[in-house]
């Protein structure tokens, strides 16, 4: 799909962007891959990793700036939307800024992609958008709905929008594994609640889910990968089994268990061998055979949460992953 095409990724200097750019260049050999972000230092550091590769371009810009988006999207075929204000406490204490990026930024991107003739757009979402308990989740749910409805809003234009949703990305900046590694030497690993569970997905699996969405989408689907869960106490044991765990209490806006599909979405959710699809409820698109494909409707009371998951990651499995990726954890 991406061969001889032009791709743009917003927020492309983050953990996902680093993985997406490297993997997409290697597998698909696009003509041009544009990293659109607002942090010039991160762009400069990332540019050194791809020095001499004429396919990679860097474009300073903010999704809040619609005019800049129009310029950046000129001649672009495919867009990955990864830009977001995503740290839960930051969003709680800076709510207007979170809304400007996650909601207004999504609106700007949808308008710009339609007007500039982009073919397909995949937006990254989060488990926190399902039955949100914090401002970040609420803004991402709004963003998800905007991208789903963008397929109707686009009218006779040929731009299609879809969403991918996943949970805790192992080893990414600001996530639990690099945090535990950074504080283990203090002799205490702080656990918010010993009952807490989290989904586990690697950056590589996240990239592959985005590729899957681009190849499969008609428009309006929310893709949810089937991934394993872990208890947070087991994550701590995988990091350092000899360090004391201390319960410190749940932070503002934090959930005990992650949820990727709530019962309110069950009526429109279909199951596939490796993923689920939440189909759009508007325009009878949830009954569209092209969108359903070979999917099987889930039960009306279905929920996909990190505590009711059928698949669980073993401590030894995570230890092996940490050992294999120790030089990358928390660095991108």
CB atoms within 10 A of CB 316: 9
Q: What is the 3 state secondary structure string of 281-329?
A: CHHHHHHCHHHHCCCEECCCCCCEECCCCCCECCHHHHHHHHHHCCCCC
To the nearest 10 degrees (0 to 180), the angle between helices 203-216 and 15-28 is 60
Task: Collapse the DSSP code of 185 into the 3-class scheme (helix H, G, I; strand E, B; otherwise coil) and give the result.
Answer: helix
CA–CA separation, 28 and 4 (whole Å): 8
Three-state secondary structure of 52-64: CCCCEEEEECCCC
CA pair distance 180, 238, nearest whole angstrom: 10
Q: Which two tokens stand for residue 265?
A: 């979405």
Nearest Cα residue to 326 out of 192, 170, 163? 170
Give the active site residues. Answer: 128
Which residue, chain included where needed, has tokens 């757009």?
Answer: 121
What is the C-alpha to C-alpha distance for residues 64 and 145, in angstroms, rounded to an integer? 18
Q: For the chain, how big is the Rg over CA atoms in Å? A: 20
Which residues contact residue 282 at a Cβ distance below 8 angstroms, ignoring those fewer than 6 apart? 148, 149, 152, 220
Residue 319, sorted as left (phi over 0), alpha (psi -120 to 50) or beta, turns out to be: alpha
CA distance 144 to 124: 9
How far is Cα 293 from Cα 281, in angstroms, rounded to an integer?
A: 16
3-state DSSP assignment of residue 203:
helix
């Amino acid at each position: 799909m991406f061969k001889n095409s032009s791709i743009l990724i917003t927020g492309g200097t983050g953990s996902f962007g680093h993985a997406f750019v490297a993997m997409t260049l290697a597998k698909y050999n696009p003509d041009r891959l544009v990293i659109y972000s607002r942090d010039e230092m991160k762009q400069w550091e990332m540019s050194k990793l791809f020095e001499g590769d004429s396919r990679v371009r860097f474009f300073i810009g903010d999704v809040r700036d619609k005019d800049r988006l129009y310029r950046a999207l000129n001649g672009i075929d495919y867009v990955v939307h990864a830009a977001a204000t995503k740290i839960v406490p930051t969003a709680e204490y800076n709510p207007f800024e979170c809304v400007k990026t996650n909601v207004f930024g999504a609106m700007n991107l949808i308008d710009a992609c339609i007007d500039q003739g982009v073919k397909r757009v995949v937006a990254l979402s989060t488990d926190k958008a399902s039955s949100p308990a914090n401002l970040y989740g609420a803004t991402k749910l709004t963003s998800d709905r905007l991208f789903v409805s963008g397929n109707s809003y686009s009218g006779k234009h040929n731009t299609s929008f879809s969403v991918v949703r996943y949970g805790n990305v192992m080893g990414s900046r600001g996530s639990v594994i690099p945090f535990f590694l950074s504080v283990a030497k203090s002799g205490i690993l702080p656990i918010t609640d010993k009952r807490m569970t989290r989904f586990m997905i690697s950056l590589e699996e996240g990239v592959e889910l985005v590729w899957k969405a681009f190849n499969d989408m008609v428009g309006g689907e929310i893709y949810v990968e089937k991934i394993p869960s872990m208890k947070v106490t087991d994550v701590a044991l995988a990091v350092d089994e000899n360090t004391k765990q201390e319960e410190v209490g749940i932070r503002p806006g934090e959930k005990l268990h992650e949820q990727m599909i709530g019962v309110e979405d069950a009526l429109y959710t279909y199951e596939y061998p490796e993923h689920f699809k939440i189909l759009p409820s508007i325009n009878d698109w949830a009954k569209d055979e092209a969108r359903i494909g070979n999917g099987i409707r889930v039960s009306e009371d279905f929920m996909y949460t990190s505590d009711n998951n059928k698949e669980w990651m073993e401590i030894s499995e995570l230890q092996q992953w940490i050992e294999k990726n120790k030089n990358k954890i928390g660095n991108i």
